[in-house]
Amino acid sequence: MDKCKHCGKELTHVEGRKKKAFCDVNCRNKFFYAKNKKLVQDAKKTLSNPAAAVIVEPNSTTGDEFMGVRVPEGLAGIQLAVWKNNIKLGKKKK
Ligand SMILES: [Zn+2]
- 50, 78 contact by CB (below 8 A): yes
Give the whole-angstrom CA distance, residue 11 versus residue 4: 6
- How remote is the CA of residue 36 from the centroid of ligand 1, in Å? 18
For the entire predicted model, the pTM comes to 0.41
Give the whole-angstrom CA distance, residue 79 versus residue 65: 15
Q: Is 1 helix (H, G, I), strand (E, B) or coil?
A: coil
Using alpha carbons, select from 57, 53, 73, 56 the residue that is nearest to residue 65: 73
- How remote is the CA of residue 51 from the centroid of ligand 1, in Å? 41
Exposure string of 65-90, with b = 16+ CB inside 10 Å and e = fewer, is eeeeeebeeebbbeebeebbeeeeee
- How remote is the CA of residue 43 from the centroid of ligand 1, in Å? 28
- How remote is the CA of residue 13 from the centroid of ligand 1, in Å? 14
pLDDT at 61: 46
pLDDT tens-digit readout, 27-85: 999 999 998 888 888 888 777 766 655 555 555 544 678 888 888 888 888 999 999 99
- How remote is the CA of residue 66 from the centroid of ligand 1, in Å? 51
pLDDT at 50: 63
- How remote is the CA of residue 32 from the centroid of ligand 1, in Å? 12
- How remote is the CA of residue 42 from the centroid of ligand 1, in Å? 26
Q: Where are the domains of the chain?
A: 1-48, 50-94
